Structure 1
Amino acid sequence: MSEQQHNWSRKSLDELVEYYTEHIHQEFLADSTHTDQPYPTATWLREHGYSGIRYTLREHHDRTFTEFIQNDVSGDALHIDNGGSESSQRRFDIEHEATEAAVDAYFTRREDRELLADSTLASRRSRFRTWVETYRHHHGTDALLAHADESDKKAAERHRAREVLDDIADTLGSDQSRLTFVADVRPVYSWLTDEGYLAFNPLDGVESEYGWEQPDADNQSLQAADVQQLLAAAETPAETLLVTALPGWGLRPSEVAQLHVSQFALDGDDPHIAFEERKNGPGTVAIHYGVHTVSDRIDQLAAADDWQGYLFPSPTNSNTHVHTDTITNRFKRLADHAGVSVNGQLATPRTARRFWYSTYSSAMVDIRAEMEEIADEQGAQSGTVVWEQYLSEADRRRRRRQAMAAKLTDAFAMENSSLSVQNED
């Protein structure tokens, strides 16, 4: 049944409960591929044609899908225990009520807003449960919030956290798996700290105290799925632009920090950014994705009377832009919230920029293969000869754009592949 046939917005709350109980939940139970959740994820609902119920609940009944399940749907009707013993209501089996509620809020927010992929959420839920269980086994309590709610508790709580990590590390088979475990648990702590539940993150920098060997990441880059997660986690036009500019346009952090509205040509068939000076000389960067992203950011900033045209203006001086380090720190913070890491370490602008170049390199491989086919058909000496002698510069640019657009589709979900793609500095 299509979304239109459901007529979600015409259903009362009671009718939504009835439809969910009799149809959606039964289909969910019959699906052996779902995760350990007792109710469908947002991705499952979308893949099975039920995403409209989430929108209707949010827009017409002022509740998230999770709140709908927990507060409106009868546990008896679903054959799950929503109202039995106290422990049966705890998704993470955390005995300390405030900690359970805060941790549940972290995961619920990411589930409802689809900020992380289902597989990432399942992995992070599982590892955080392991963390809590080990913490409780070591220290006789799982009151994570109570132990880190004041700055003067920092030394004691970091010591407790190291004991827990020591125990868990012994059960993991490699340094990479230990680094990955920390990379999954730390974002939960980071969010709790940012939201004011904690006074500090007891896992900050903890890897530096261990001799775990990091795989050589000199040439590692983000993957398409990583870019998707970063875009999903971006909540403001500035954050979306940040993701677009680094892996999407291949810019350096310093270039992102200095972006000015005067550099952008957004109209026509060749939207691009012009640079008077770059590290490797003057040049332009074609905008293959993100014309609307730039426009949204400009519209947001133009509302301020003192805006001087910088897309990342300094918060303390409207006449200038932010520092390069600010761009790096903002990107790493976003990567932390999105759960995006490269070889167990938070993604950085460098790994983001490498994504652009690895994608461009892959696109050029496809182009060279195409040129070799043309050479064989036309009896030319080689594909290189066809590329250099028989195609105009305009044709070469067009083919580069098309190839890059095809490669970037997975990462940026581009529907219009006609946008130009080029970065020749």
Structure 2
Amino acid sequence: MTALKWTSEYVQRKFPDDVREVRRAEGENPDVKPTHKWLREHGLIGIQGYAERHDKTVDDVLLNECGFDSRKRKPLPGTHGETKQLVRKWLEDEDTAFSRLGDTSIKSAWSHMRKLMEISQDALGSSNLLRPARAPKGKNIRLTLDLFRAMNEELESEGSRYNYASTLKSFYGYLEMTGEVDSNPAEAVLPRMGWSYTRESPEIALKPAQVRKCWEATESVDEDTLEELGSAELRELLTQKILLLCLAGCGQRTSDPLITHAKEDIILDPADPRICFDEERKNGQGTTPIMAGLDYFEEYIGLLEEEGYEMLFPSEDSEDGTRSDGWVRNEVEKIVDRADIRLPDGSRPTPKHFRQFWYNEYFDAYEAYIAKVEDVAAAQSSASAEIVDKHYLASHRARDHFRRFANAHFETAFPTDVVISPEEIAEARNTGDEDDQSSLTDFVTRPKTDSNSTHAIVGAMAVLPIVRWNTELATSRAVREFAAMKHDEEVIDPTSVHGISQFLVGVVAISVMALVLITVGYPMWSIAVMLLAAWAFTTSSIDMAEPRPVAASS
């Protein structure tokens, strides 16, 4: 049964209906894409195995095959209403009338405009991006130059600056065409900036020993005073370590930690700890392994939950509830000054140099991975670079490859007991914890043994998520039936309510029977037959029809 469940037909037809039904009963929007956390909590992480078998991400499957909507985009910042209105109108026309931009490009343009409005707020004193294009000749160029100079500080690579400036140029071009502005100063200034989209970030990176010195220079917790600290104080002391782990241990860009949802995006699965980015990220969706500090992440996120925060680095002073890029740079500056670390040219390292340390390891592992998949790619008539660009680190196998390849360097950069070794990953998978459900198909592909006890345990692990899922579906249906009866204006026959109770009792009884049969070692095929027969008997013997009105007594 488990082997057949995650088929294309199930994923594209029945699975979306079942998910929507339960989310509707829970009071959630049934059409919005469920989070990875929600899927795990409801025993449905088997969809990850399905996605990997089809060379897709889970989000690809949920959005494109299941038809769920993306989570709501982050709002445009600032207070300038006309800029917000025209940005929305521009992207709406691009999407529906011009059809020049695909879904991914529309999302990227929205993300670019959000960032440009933030940069404008800092550089020009207002989020009004219309001001440079409406200024008199001469002043329009000066204002745009000021904006582009600020982009030099805010954006890490020349490629990023070029892309963001190109988005602004397209926005101004649309406004000039519709008569909203008098000029397109970005079009005149951009060619003179010398930016090229083909250039990458500086190759200068920190050495593992330098990262280690920075780790040792972060604020530490004194065990003697640990019990005296409140959750807010303890979280504050862990902040710098978590930031360094995000940049050097997970390869995040400066702004990535600020859009990271602590519970939804950080997957603290001991068998495959990772961070999953959604479409709000500058470079779109993606997944990176957590190479170090799993215990620190668990402690820190637990403290965030105690205080009621959702974002990884929360701020009550900002409009969107999270810290700014400037805060990240300031914290890194404190760390490198305390560690007395400088680059070969004498300059102070910035967040991008910590990411570059991670990226160097990534690139070496990437090249080794290409060598392994090149033959397969050639057989499939696909370009190997395209395959790896899209899928490297998207599957747990690729992340395992990265861990094995880069483990030694990370053990130099961080204390050995902080780094997550490949052996720890393998051991966690062998324990068969709940998050191992990420591959329900694994239970089918494992070789059979003659041991009844092993057979029973494997069978139990495969059946339990299905029993639990059926129970939740039955419960949600019964809740809706009862709610419908409760609001009926007519008098309801008590036997209808009794039927619902009887139905729920039947579900529980079948679940208990499954556990008993598995425990005593019955063959799985015979258990399946008995459970199907019991289910058919339960559903056919209970009247779940519309409630019957009872004549009122005189």
Q: State if a TM-score over 0.5 links the two structures.
A: no
Which structure ranks higher in relative contact order (CA pairs < 8 Å, sequence separation ≥ 6)? 2
For the pair shown, which has the larger CA radius of gyration, 1 or 2? 2
TM-score normalised per structure 2: 0.31
Structure 1 or 2: more helix by fraction: 2
TM-score, scaled relative to structure 1 = 0.40
